[in-house]
Amino acid sequence: MNISTIGTNLAANQAVSGKTLPPQSIGKVVEVAEQSQAQRTVDMRQVSLNEINALIKSGVDGLLDVVPYIPISTSNPFAAPDAGDLKVDYLGQIEGMIDFQKSRHEDTTFLEKVLNNVKRIDGMALPPKLDVMA
């Protein structure tokens, strides 16, 4: 095996000095700043446990009356994402529980109260991230 020609192909195409600056992208920085300052709202059909936790910490009550369920099939044990970032259909889960209890001719008044409370919260502005280091 002849490796004498390998070194000749690895030469740099263009000489670069350490004094060049990257191109300016001020517009992108402004867009990111505007997006981070824009208020996010809660979509209870696509909500994560971290968002629910932020709402609870901000003083919203009634969110733990029915605990959201994260199906095992949605989490990938090999990728190991944070379970708090997985999105669930919280409203759909409560509606499914009501339908199931109605099919068994059971009382659904508690679940209907929880559903009305969650619908009230749906579309609410998410609080800004809490500073836990302060």
pLDDT digits (tens, 9 = 90+) for 55-104: 888 888 888 788 888 776 655 556 556 777 888 899 999 999 999 999 99
Q: Which amino acid is at 56?
A: I
pLDDT top residue among 57 and 23 = 57
* Cα–Cα dist 80/78, whole Å: 5
Predicted TM-score (pTM) of the model is 0.60
CA dihedral 115, 120, 123, 129 (to 10 degrees): -100
Do 93 and 66 form a contact (C-beta atoms < 8 A)?
yes
Residue 108 in tokens: 């659904």
pLDDT top residue among 64 and 114 = 114
Q: DSSP label at 9?
A: G
Mean pLDDT of 17-28: 57
The pLDDT tens digits of the residues spanning 30-41 come to 444 444 455 678
pLDDT top residue among 122 and 12 = 122
Mean pLDDT of the chain: 74
13 pLDDT band, cuts 50/70/90, is low
DSSP states along 54-66? HHHHTT--STTSS
Is the CA virtual torsion 116, 118, 120, 123 positive or negative?
Answer: negative
